[in-house]
Chain A
Amino acid sequence: EVQLVESGGGLVQPGRSMKLSCAASGFTFNNYDMAWVCQAPKKGLEWVATISYDGSSTYYRDSVKGRFTISRDNAKSTLYLQMDSLRSEDTATYYCARHYYDGTYYYFDYWGQGVMVTVSS
């Protein structure tokens, strides 16, 4: 059974940093691209970042480029999101998701339970 378990959220002041983790199990982690998707309170979903299966390529939404860094440790089957220079508009639940490739397209086939990040003074 595919399991993705996020950790590391909480309350943080504007301008500070926070690092999220996502522990994966139930599949061969280093065979899959992985992603972070966020959802602001009572709002819709927004893709944040994706990292390739081997960590060699990363992709970010414009609003987090230069502030967020996605990374992975395949030996530990763990995905990370380092969030720097946090802003109030980054307040959201952050989901770790497997970014599955079916030969033609990528889509998010499994999601973690999410972790809340609140940016406030």
Chain B
Amino acid sequence: DIQMTQSPASLSASLGETVTIECRASEDIYNGLAWYQQKPGKSPQLLIYNANSLHTGVPSRFSGSGSGTQYSLKINSLQSEDVASYFCQQYYNYPPTFGGGTKLELK
């Protein structure tokens, strides 16, 4: 199975700040990567697919980048509603596997 390693595990940032979350795959996943946001007590919601494509309805302050084994999610101008956990997931190979998550809080 492809291992997905996310960093940091937790993050504290101020409103308006830019935040970056990293995800490393144990092998090349050829941009087969998604990012999900999970607010407390809610289900995950797709933000980014194919490493850098924004899902329908997702604010443009979210963006994804990367290639090979290294990917990142950037949130520009952090808003209060962005407080959540964020997960990366590879779907290049079965089984699909997720990163351990990053919990984002407001400073």
Contacts and interface: CB of A to CB of B under 8 A. Distances in A.
Contacts of B50: 102, 104-105, 107
Contact of A44 (B34, B55, B91, B100): B100
A47 interface: yes
B98 A45 contact: yes
Contacts, number: 56
Contacts of A111: 43-46
A30 B101 CA distance: 32
B95 A47 contact: yes
A47 B96 contact: yes
Interface of A: 37, 44-47, 59, 61, 95, 102, 104-114
**Chain B contact surface mostly:** loop
**Chain A contact surface mostly:** strand
Contacts of A59: 94-95
Given A47-B95, A47-B96, A59-B94, A107 B89 contact: yes
A107 B98 CA distance: 12
Interface in B81-107: 87, 89, 91-92, 94-101
Given A107-B46, A108-B46, A44 B95 contact: no
21 contacts: A37-B44, A44-B87, A44-B100, A44-B101, A45-B44, A45-B87, A45-B89, A45-B101, A59-B94, A59-B95, A104-B50, A105-B49, A105-B92, A108-B34, A108-B36, A108-B46, A108-B96, A109-B46, A111-B46, A113-B42, A114-B43
